[in-house]
Amino acid sequence: MLRGKKGLIIGVANSKSIAYGIAEAIKKQGGTFALTYLNEQIEKRVRPIAEELGCEHTYKLDVSQPEEIDAVREAIERDFGKIDFLVHAVAYAPKEALDGRFINTSKEAFDIAMRTSVFSLIEVTQRLLPALNRGGCVLTLTYYGSVAVMPHYNVMGVAKAALEASVRYLAADLGADGIRVNAISAGPIRTLASSGIGDFKMMLKWNEANSPLRENVTIEQIGGSAAYLLSDLASGVTGEIHYVDSGYNIVGMAAIEEIDGKSTLVWDRLKNQ
């Protein structure tokens, strides 16, 4: 699906990250890409991944530094000429802002979450736009906590809501340039980022018990959907929030099953497994 397509993936942290699953799927579908790393510590993890995936170019990028974004654009133009896709897998909020009551969110934590998780998409897209081919695609990652309250998500839920609105406005802006903008709303998945969310193991169990498919998603499944959205097969798709969550987003109440003629919650059976 992606043979001949070139792009940039921002946010690969390790081989368990969603961005890694996307990178792996892109490679399997014939695409090539560059990866970025935040700092020297992350670089030590990203370079072996780049070698594994046959990625020849890695760039240092702190999305909060406009000059680094511009430097990446110059590197892309030098190494690729132009690219066909941009994957934005960046999100952060201070850990203390994910616990306790949302009403106690500090202005500093709010600003950090919005700047890193939302404005970075806008600014990276803006500054890399000259390096994007017509017919290209921008893809970011969101979560159901944007539209429904999730425990231990707090300010990040607000940031993801703003991110999804940004996807729609960017899609409207860039459609005239032939650029599509979409997001994948992935179900809960065990990653480095999710390790900072309290009671995450319970969230995984709950999603498994109550999603229509009765399972949690994998980075391979998310990668497959990403490959589709980045390909020409999705050339008519933009401004969309594409759910890859085993169908959890359609559920209105906890799942019930019949055991020995009695109705019981699926959760009751799975919670202690």
Q: Is 228 designated active site?
A: no
Contact 9, 89 (CB under 8 A): yes
Tokens for 167, please give them. Answer: 């996807």
Closest Cα partner for 90 from 138, 146, 142? Answer: 142
- CA pair distance 183, 42, nearest whole angstrom: 24
Contact 218, 20 (CB under 8 A): no
Tokens for 188, please give them. Answer: 């809960």
**Catalytic residue among 20, 153, 243, 248, which?**
153
Contact 156, 145 (CB under 8 A): yes
Contact 255, 267 (CB under 8 A): yes
Residues 6+ apart with CB under 8 A from 183: 139, 140, 141, 142, 163, 164, 167, 240, 241, 242
Contact 19, 61 (CB under 8 A): no
Closest Cα partner for 136 from 20, 21, 232? Answer: 232
C-alpha radius of gyration, the chain, whole number: 19
Q: Is 143 designated active site?
A: yes
Contact 234, 228 (CB under 8 A): yes
Tell me how far apart the terminal alpha carbons of the chain are, to the nearest angstrom. 39
**Catalytic residue among 143, 144, 243, 248, which?**
143
As annotated, the active-site residues are: 143, 153
